[in-house]
Amino acid sequence: MRDFLEVLQEDAAKDPEQRARELSRRELPKRFYKDAGFAPAEGGFAIQLDGRPVKTPGKATLLLPGETLAAAVAAEWQAQEKEINPATMPLTRIANSARDAVSVRFAEVADEITRFSGNDALCYRADDPQSLVDTQRRLWDPVVNWAGAMLGGRYVLIEGVIHADQPESLLAAYRARLDGETPLRLAALHTVTVLTGSALLALALREGQLDADGVWTAAHVEEDFNIERWGEDAEAARIRAYKRKEFDAAVLILKEA
């Protein structure tokens, strides 16, 4: 079996739309149930199909820590039509990943998020045009400065794409903040980090420094600049909409779990 971190890295490198296409190409199971719901169970709320508990791919009972999340996951199952398509069920997929993988590989996932903070998108800056430089400074500098102050240091900013190491003390402080998370919340933080390219934005969302829309806007500064300059491509817009659904699922978990 391949190393779990290797699988995570490969998955992170894929565009979310690519992952959706891969899921949709598989032979999807037929919908076999009438009603999806949830009920109290030991450890949280169990998702049920016609009164029977749903199992994760690893054969564990699919549990959510609160009624709001349980209702949202049940709604994903209820929304399935003739087939069950995991590509349209981001909450279920994150919950499955948390239960089957993150719960037993917690440290590896936390280390992966921390590595993102050492190569964070917010630290790599354009040197022109000036309008893009100014927008990056306006939206990114407050997050970078806030994170550095919280973690007891200062992040290095880089113009261009040449890598520069961040202070080890900052990375250690970031990693320490993840130890108290649950597997479900850590899985959601990993999702936000991958989708935005920024562990600092994930941290800002976790700590309430930015709301979901603020994080999303900051993550798409360059994309929005290019749209304003050249117009929006229909396929790119579709991919972005798909990514936003994934992002919103992770945000809901961080809010409710």
Mean pLDDT, range 34-42, rounded to an integer = 97
- Residue 156 DSSP label: P
Q: How confident is the model at residue 112 (pLDDT cuts 50, 70, 90)?
A: very high
Instruction: Quick: pLDDT tens for 153-183.
Output: 999 999 877 888 999 999 999 999 999 999 9
pLDDT above 70 (res 16): no
| Same structural domain, 71 and 166 | no
Instruction: Quick: pLDDT tens for 100-110.
Output: 999 999 999 99
pLDDT value at residue 108: 97
| Same structural domain, 150 and 235 | yes
Give CA–CA dist 250/189, Å, rounded: 7
Q: Is residue 101 part of a domain?
A: no
Which CATH number does the domain housing residue 125 bear?
Answer: 1.10.3580.10
Structural domain for 47, as ranges: 4-85
Which class for 217: exposed (0-12), middle (13-18), buried (19 or more C-beta within 10 A)?
middle
Residue 165 phi/psi, 5° resolution? -70, 140
Give CA–CA dist 253/239, Å, rounded: 22
Q: Please tell me the number of Cα atoms within 13 Å of 227 on its side-chain side.
A: 12
Instruction: Quick: pLDDT tens for 41-80.
Output: 999 999 999 999 999 999 999 999 999 999 999 999 999 9
Give CA–CA dist 65/42, Å, rounded: 10
Q: Is residue 29 part of a domain?
A: yes
pLDDT value at residue 26: 66
| Domains contained in the chain, number | 2
